[in-house]
Amino acid sequence: MKKMELGKSGLEVPAIALGCMSMNKLTKAEAERVISNSIEHGVNFFDHADIYGKGKSEEIFAEGLPREVRREDIIIQSKTGIRNGYYDFSKQHIIKSAEESLQRLNTDYLDVFLLHRPDALMEPEEVAEAFSALHESGKVRFFGVSNHNSMQIKLLEKYLKQPIITNQLQLSLTNSGLMNQGLFVNTNFEQASDRDGSILDYSRLNDITIQAWSPFRHGFFDGLFVDSDDYPELNAELQQLADKYDVSKSAIAVAWILRHPANILTIIGTMTPIRLTNIVKASEIDLTRQEWYGLWQAAGNKLL
């Protein structure tokens, strides 16, 4: 498994992480198989959030974690901020959420803790106080955000003592707006619209690792593009490369993300061990420029 540094934290992580949003649907025995298989293939980075399964996903993870696995040999990340009908970045909620995640995960610390979605009522001074309290108490090692643009991060950074080392963003072959904006600079095409504050370039300039979520979905949770009749050209291109590299089409879709020089980490949410086994082969593939652009165009994009 290819390794990378998360931001400039010194924390070494695999290029592929396991998203645990659906782990609440598993039994303890099933969770143990998923976790064991993941670690066996070098995927020792596990992504959680307080809202996943209303906290049940974190509980099942703790129950299913094999006893022989040492805490220092795995990386646990969780997120906070989404509540029932609103977002909350208050100091009280951030600290309470982190402590409750620690309890559910049965661990003394989180390696990484993220702000899940931007809170319009955020007071960065409060966030800074919460982060400092969690860091100084040893409950959180590093911090990041999710679904934030560059100016939102910059506002936080004005007050934080700790660096923002990562930003979790939706990215896939069919949701490639982060990259499209740069490819259509100085045009009137829709793809030139900058909806994210040039977050890709901002992240590279500021040593922030992007974590790609939903690498197989199109739209906003609209469905999977792999094997979808709605994307015949893309699936034909995926199949051609899958045959060439002797991997699955899903592995090629992840390899497309990993090929980008920004060193983007990819989060896969499968709870099926054999599917993870097949997908992680993506870290062994280095697509050529022609192949990368070919996939991008097959997804419905056009070069100028």
Q: Which residues belong to the active site? A: 52
Distance separating alpha carbons of residues 229 and 223, to the nearest angstrom: 11
The helix (H) or strand (E) run that includes residue 5 is strand 3-5
- Of 292, 295, 279, the C-alpha closest to 17 is 279
Under DSSP, is residue 90 helix (H, G, I), strand (E, B) or coil?
Answer: coil
- Of 173, 163, 170, 70, the C-alpha closest to 117 is 170
DSSP code, position 154: H
- Of 274, 10, 302, 283, the C-alpha closest to 142 is 10
CB count within 10 Å of CB 249 equals 20
Alpha carbon of residue 276 to chain centroid: 15
- Of 59, 57, 47, the C-alpha closest to 19 is 47
Tokens encoding 232: 């015949």
* Cα–Cα–Cα angle for 46, 49, 50, rounded to 5 degrees: 135
Tokens encoding 37: 């298989």
Under DSSP, is residue 262 helix (H, G, I), strand (E, B) or coil?
Answer: coil
